[in-house]
Amino acid sequence: MAGEPLSFFDANCMVGRYKQFRTGSFHTTDRLLEEMAYHGISEALVVHALSRENHPLTGNAAILGEVDARRNLHPAWSALPPRSGELPKPHDFIREALDKGVRAIWLFAGQYSFPLSEWCVGALVEELEEHRIPTFIDADPEYAAFGPERFDWDHIDELCRNHPGLQVILSAGRFRSSNRLLYQLMERHNSLHIELSGYWLYRGIEFICREFGAQRLMFGTRMPLRDPSCTVAIVNYAEISDEEKRLIAGDNLRTLMKEARW
């Protein structure tokens, strides 16, 4: 029915102490749940700060304990280019992730200083594509980044072209100076999506829904760094249909995560 509250599924949350901690912010899982309840967010995909800022090996293990038995929190892992041997080989890494209930992977390319070119991440991405695991890409070197997005658009194009079955979700502290390039790639690649916590553009949601479809957008807040009310509001008040709002608020992410399989 029209007018029913949206079932928000936050695609971008983090727990654990992070480097640029701000007065008034938070870092605990209990506080995240409180903020979610206050803002009407039903579920969240959560990565650990250690996965983002220290090393995936420690952070990926830590997030499992944080979300254990909390049915509305879903663990996300981060990954690295495979040849350094810091993580299990891609095949084994993905099997372990799926066995432990992980249905989304982050590539923090800016934080860990690696390109998204085939020679660097191709072996990992092949496994992510084969097992249909939603893959979030963040090119910012810091979680608290606020400048223009730092994507290498040629590498994003290469990634999507070489791996058309890979569901790619771009996340940035701020989508600002390269939106025209972003739209060029969205036209070329149906598997390319945007997470909304850094996408603040007047009638931007309406434009993407009209030109590319609501299935290309994912609700996200970037808690605890950002106030979630911003993204909640831009979805609730967008001049789009109720069905499009439901897709963006959470159903798009739920669908992609359900498709992840061994």
CB 147 within 8 A of CB 175: no
Could you read off the pLDDT of 61-102 as tens digits, one per residue?
A: 999 999 998 999 999 999 999 999 999 999 999 999 999 999
Predicted TM-score of the model (pTM)? 0.95
For residue 17, is pLDDT > 80? yes
What is residue 25's predicted lDDT score, i.e. its pLDDT?
A: 86
Could you read off the pLDDT of 161-211 as tens digits, one per residue?
A: 999 999 999 999 888 888 999 999 999 999 999 999 999 889 999 999 999
Could you read off the pLDDT of 244-257 as tens digits, one per residue?
A: 999 999 999 999 99
What is residue 69's predicted lDDT score, i.e. its pLDDT?
A: 85
Q: Give the mean pLDDT of 238-245.
A: 97
What is residue 221's predicted lDDT score, i.e. its pLDDT?
A: 97
Q: Give the mean pLDDT of 31-48.
A: 97
Q: Mean pLDDT of all residues in the chain?
A: 94
For residue 47, is pLDDT > 60? yes
pLDDT band at residue 2 using 50, 70 and 90 as cut-offs: low
What is residue 1's predicted lDDT score, i.e. its pLDDT?
A: 40
What is residue 3's predicted lDDT score, i.e. its pLDDT?
A: 66
For residue 118, is pLDDT > 90? yes
What is residue 21's predicted lDDT score, i.e. its pLDDT?
A: 80
Residue 47 tokens read as: 């990565």
Which positions ≥6 away from 151 have C-beta within 8 Å? Answer: 137, 139, 170, 172, 178
Which domains does the chain possess? 8-259 (3.20.20.140)
